[in-house]
Structure 1
């Protein structure tokens, strides 16, 4: 469990570097370099304390020791110069282990601000070296900011999913464990901790002999193609107690150097994407493929020992793609090693990707003993499936784990539960695609009252057409009478666009001299390139560019465009999982043809669409209310205009690092929501100190964002709980005998206020709306407090109605989802 002070220090380091260091990856590198620097000096000091000698800062490197760096006599510029020189010279220090020298390769200081470095080093100085779990967990927490997608399609795997897979696979102390695409070594460390916990009497691993512990560490291996990931994973393992971690820079799919090495346990979340043109693997794979996810799963299957087990996170293409390589892979697994498929909800990798994933469980020993495969469907993983991934009560993982353990223990006896059901390998083989979609095989009483699945590749029912673009340098091909849709005509939306016009048009000549096709009314347009999964229904004849796969219904007596469009919108995460490519991901016509949708009778389709349309009409109306509403104050000529500077003196906030617990809530810019209210989520805290007490908030205080894209955003503090406001916020404590705080807040939401704010803001890429600007805001103030109160009362009544519309949207979005889910339940 990460202690609060360590987490606070890491957060503080990151906060200091924001704006100075270009991206999260570079921030992690800077913190890693500084931590290793500090730890080496700590180890030298520890050695001296016990009567030994220094090992790292010797033979001319004494001048770079941490104590000299932070000596009181050092000025800011001197410290910056010494630190910058030190980190660039560390690779020349032959007394450093190779692991540490690698960390300092190409190291440099990306900023030249002495004050920033001074604050940063002060926080780093608070860390102390040891081999405890606390330190290793701190580094893992630091690595969590590396969540964005990597160049090779890597995604940070959520910790609770990693731990779930490790518990299910149940690695043992004598087994060789491998992650062939290890990233920052999350799976390897989770397996290490799990085994130590399984061999615990009083503390982790205390039942292991020193020899057993050393053998366990020696048996844990990782590969990664990225040298940056290898360096970070080595440090991560080192800080978790691995004195000699085994992670190699290795291209698992194209190199044969380690082909003959096998493992008892393999845990992996391989890259989801393949480079343009695909992977060019060597010839020893069982499956002929160019897709990275296919090759990785094949590699893992091939490299399990005869009784080996594996847990692999895979994109949905592995589950249902109809390509030859995908089918061959599924057949290979079913016949040799697959024992379970766990379907995860589409939001697990948010906010980095909405891609739908599943977990494949391979067990070569168990697969020989049973002809059954368990399919498990996880609907909730304990976190909301939106971008913020906030904790929720609904969590299917414990029940899923229970089902898997029961099945592994007695596969022929286990009858299933509400999440899981068994399917025979023979039944899977009857399906020509060898599909891993569990719903396809579910056999229960509900099956008879739901609908058959139809393929989008069924040419009696659907025709799939792509688009095209006429030559741009042929004026005669453009600005004609043919509507031509591009992504700009399908705005981001939670529902389906009704396409009644396009921004650009082409001519008949352009249509005839390109691959664009004129599509009939009722065609379902599905974006298939880059921004994937937007859906529209053409309400006039139209053509599209090549960024779409368009579904034309061939038999209107069997399928309605509105119903099919609704199904495609529901499948958006699955469509993203079909996409291939690098810079511009795209799914193919063949991939789309492999998708199946439920198809009720036409009358049932009409009923479902009518139900959804009714809900959507309510949502659209509620959204118009919310979008249109702004607190409005009808200004009278006789009201005096008073500047903020005449009313009060702006105060800047407190500079500190937020933490998860503390005596006072710490309110930051991000805590003010778009409507000018205090957000209830992602709360952070600090403990009250004498210095911080000057920044304690009172009811009625106004907070104003003073920098960044949200400059000018204003909140009224009305909470009973104690709070401190952070830097980058300005406090206005208005004289209540002249102006009511809520009146000012209402004014700050108005167009009058924003016209002034936009005129007063300074700065380019990082707008600044500081106190010198804010004091010039002119506020029209009714002289009588009673008149201000009347205006406030009316606005509060309006806000009650607006908030009721928010609740209405939330409830009716759930109703739409439920209506769609009822169609898909099999």
Structure 2
């Protein structure tokens, strides 16, 4: 978990920049670049202490060393000149790994105030690179200030929702894991954390899964907490190759690369790639796909290539189509989607839902409208795709979550009564049974299973779970009685001279049926209050 001093230093960096760099995204970029710059010098010093040689600041680049940049006596103007020049030169430094050159590509200093830069770099100088969990957590906190890129329909997925989705999908160490719209790589890091937990003796139980708290609690944990000591060297090498991400934004790719690097990936596989208009990676499949794709489409719509099964110009339709079509035969996916995917009547939406119901869809989880607050009140759902379940099962599971463990207002404060753990446990059990051809009924206060043939009725393949409810569940501990039993005999005749308490005591079901009350309703309610508060 992020420690208070580190959080305070990050907040101080943002406070220093806010007067010159008001945009949160630009603040994150400036802090990211400065941290990497400083960490490269730290790693050079560490290499020298261990008897090795410098890698980053050598030959002509030795004059840009961080230690020289912030040395006592360096004037603010000299600091500004050296730093701004270094940012443009680092991409040409052949001593840098490709990852670092990608990070510095198009980097620049967006202001020319020496005193602001001096204060900023002095604060950055208090950070030290030790590849600890604290550093990864610090960067996660830094990314949280991004919140929303609302103009592109992109909303940062809350960590507890990411972990919830990952745990349902249950990625394994030998699987290819992809996020085709990866943003800051939150899903990829959560999948990595999940695999480390599965393969760590100190947190795993007999079946290889963690017995610790729910997803909301685990969202506070760092991936580096789990040693993954059950992973063999070849397992780790495979993981490094198999966790992949694409994003159309070079800024997001840069942040993803740093985020993965700080979480232990020496050579992260995140690329700048337009998933919807480029065909270059169309033949690459994945065992697990996790995503919260952009919801918005540009004016005039997307102009995709022609290999999509569903013809559309809407980004949310195309992303879901892409994900479904790029799963291996036993592949699984969890996707955050807007409500339009669930019930819109346009032909592209209907065609997409038909394809999903016929070949891919396992479950639909309705989320409360405030999950993305304070950035957006947009209503969303999670689609769970599982090709093995879709092939073996005649049903689709539907769940509705109203409490995700946080209040739905702007502050999103933690509250009790989270339904995530219950939904996760019940859905995992149902998916396992469905894959094996077992019972497909779903006894739950939060969900139900609906036959695929019912979803196809009317031809619209509507995925609103409440549409298929046949009865209203009651939380009452008392027997439900049909209203007709009372109406047939009329209302009871009770002496109006009796006190209100006496009349209430006499109002009971047996009295309505012409018998003496065996247990007056007033006593029944009194007993209920005593037993249930």
Same-fold call, TM > 0.5? yes
Determine helix, strand or coil for the equivalent of 1:60. Answer: helix
Task: Tell me the equivalent position of 1:128.
Answer: 128
Describe the SS at the equivalent of 2:193. Answer: helix
1:592 aligns with none
Q: Is the 8 A contact 1:185 1:233 kept in 2?
A: yes
| Cα distance in 1 between the residues matched to 2:173 and 2:47 | 32
Where 1:293 maps in the other structure, the secondary structure is helix
Partner of 1:695: none
In structure 1, the partner of 2:57 is: 57
CA shift in 2, pair 1:259/1:413, >3 Å: closer
Distance 1:164 1:306 in 2: 23
Partner secondary structure for residue 372 of structure 2: coil
**1:337-366 alpha-carbon deviations (Å, 9 max, x no partner):** 101000001111112221110000000012
Q: 1:378 to 1:97 in 2, by over 3 A?
A: same
- For residues 20-99 of structure 1, the aligned pairs below 5 Å read 20-99=20-99
- Aligned pair partner of 2:425 in 395, 402, 410: 402
**Pairs within 5 Å for 1:83-162:** 83-149=83-149, 151-162=151-162
1:435 corresponds to which residue?
Answer: 462
Partner in structure 1 of residue 408 of structure 2 = 385
Q: How far did residue 20 of structure 1 move? A: 1.7
Contact (CA 8 Å) 1:406, 1:414: kept in 2 or not? no
| Alignment partner, residue 317 of structure 1 | 340
CA shift at 1:382, angstroms?
Answer: 1.4
Q: d(CA) in 2 for partners of 1:337 and 1:116?
A: 54
Partner of residue 223, structure 1: 246
Separation of aligned partners in 1, 2:337 and 2:375: 16
Shift of residue 413 of structure 1?
5.0
Task: Name the CA distance, whole Å, in 2 between partners of 1:382 and 1:15.
Answer: 30
Flag the structure with higher strand content.
1
Question: Distance between the aligned counterparts of 1:150 and 1:346, measured in 2?
Answer: 16
Measured after TM superposition, the shift of residue 410 of structure 1 is 2.0
Task: Kindly provide the CA deviation profile for residues 72-94 of structure 1, in whole angstroms up to 9, marking residues without a partner as x.
Answer: 12123322222222222222222
- In the alignment, the residues of structure 1 paired with residue 372 and residue 253 of structure 2 have an alpha-carbon distance, to the nearest angstrom, of 22
Where does residue 323 of structure 2 map in the other structure?
A: 300
Q: List runs of 5+ in structure 2 lacking aligned partners.
A: 203-225, 475-533
Are 1:200 and 1:207, in contact at CA under 8 Å, matched by a contact in 2? yes
Q: Which residue does the alignment assign to 2:509?
A: none
Instruction: Give the Cα separation in 1 of the matches to 2:36 and 2:334.
Output: 33
Computed over aligned residues only, the root mean square deviation of the Cα atoms, in angstroms, reads 1.5
CA positional deviation for 1:386: 1.8
Give 1 or 2 for the bigger CA radius of gyration: 1
Distance 1:206 1:22, change over 3 A: same
CA distance, structure 2, for counterparts of residue 188 and residue 83 of structure 1: 32
Task: Please say if residues 368 and 403 of structure 2, whose CA atoms lie closer than 8 Å, have aligned partners that are also in contact.
Answer: yes
Q: Does 1:286 align with 2:309?
A: yes
Give the drift of 1:3: 2.2
Distance 1:143 1:445 in 2: 43
Alignment of 1:791-810 (within 5 A): none
For residue 317 of structure 1, give the secondary structure of its aligned residue in structure 2. helix
**Does 2:185 match 1:185?**
yes
* Partners of 2:286 and 2:326 within 8 A in 1: yes
Normalising by structure 1, we get a TM-score of: 0.53
User: Which residue of structure 1 lines up, in the alignment, with residue 487 of structure 2?
Assistant: none
Partner of 1:214: 237
SS in 1 for 2:405: strand
Classify 1:382/1:445 alpha carbon distance in 2 versus 1 (closer, same or farther; 3 Å). Answer: closer
In the alignment, is residue 239 of structure 1 matched against residue 262 of structure 2? yes
> SS of the residue aligned with 1:271?
coil
Three-state SS of the structure 1 residue aligned to 2:385 is: strand
Counterpart-to-counterpart distance in 1, 2:277 and 2:473: 47
Contact kept, 8 Å, 2:304 with 2:313, in 1: the verdict is yes
Q: Which of 1 and 2 has higher RCO (CA within 8 Å, sep 6+)?
A: 2
> Matched residues in 1 for 2:441 and 2:29: separation?
49
User: Secondary structure of 1:6's partner?
Assistant: helix
- Partner residue, 1:14: 14
Hey, what does 2:350 align to over in structure 1?
A: 327
Distance 2:269 2:56 in 1: 22
Instruction: Name the residue aligned to 1:347.
Output: 370
Q: Say if 1:77 and 1:114, in contact at 8 Å, map to a contact too.
A: yes
Q: How many residues align?
A: 447
Once the two structures are superposed, the pairs formed by residues 458-469 of structure 1 within 5 Å of their partners are: none
2:200 equivalent to 1:200 = yes
Residues in 2 aligned to 1:105 and 1:148: alpha-carbon distance in whole angstroms: 24
Q: Helix, strand or coil: the match of 1:391?
A: coil
1:404-419 matches, cutoff 5 A: 404-411=427-434, 412-419=439-446
Which has a greater percent of helix?
Answer: 2
Residue in structure 2 matching 1:420, options 423, 447, 454: 447
Contact 2:395–2:440, Cα closer than 8 Å, also in 1: no
Task: State the 1:445 CA deviation.
Answer: 4.3
Give the match's secondary structure for 1:395.
Answer: coil
Report the secondary structure of 2:154's partner residue: coil
Output the TM-score relative to the length of structure 2.
0.81
Q: Distance in 2 between matches of 1:239 and 1:372?
A: 42
Shift of 1:106: 2.7
Q: What SS does the aligned partner of 1:383 have?
A: coil
2:95 aligns to what SS in structure 1?
coil
After superposition, give the CA deviation of every residue in 1:663-692 in whole Å (9 maximum; x if it has no partner): xxxxxxxxxxxxxxxxxxxxxxxxxxxxxx
State the alpha-carbon separation in 1 of the partners of residues 200 and 425 from structure 2.
Answer: 22
**Cα contact 1:132–1:241 (8 A) shared by 2:** no
User: Quick check: 1:200–1:206 contact (8 Å CA) kept in 2?
Assistant: yes
**Partner of 2:296 in structure 1?**
273
- Distance, in Å, in 1 between the alignment partners of 2:350 and 2:82 is 59
The 5 A counterparts of 1:521-536 are none
Alignment of 1:593-672 (within 5 A): none
- Within-5 A mapping of 1:556-595: none
Q: Give secondary structure in 2 for the equivalent of 1:410.
A: helix
CA distance in 1, matches of 2:24, 2:5: 21
* Counterparts of residues 407-806 of structure 1 (less than 5 Å): 407-411=430-434, 412-445=439-472
Counterpart CA distance in 2 for 1:245 and 1:320 is 38
Report deviation, 1:198.
0.8
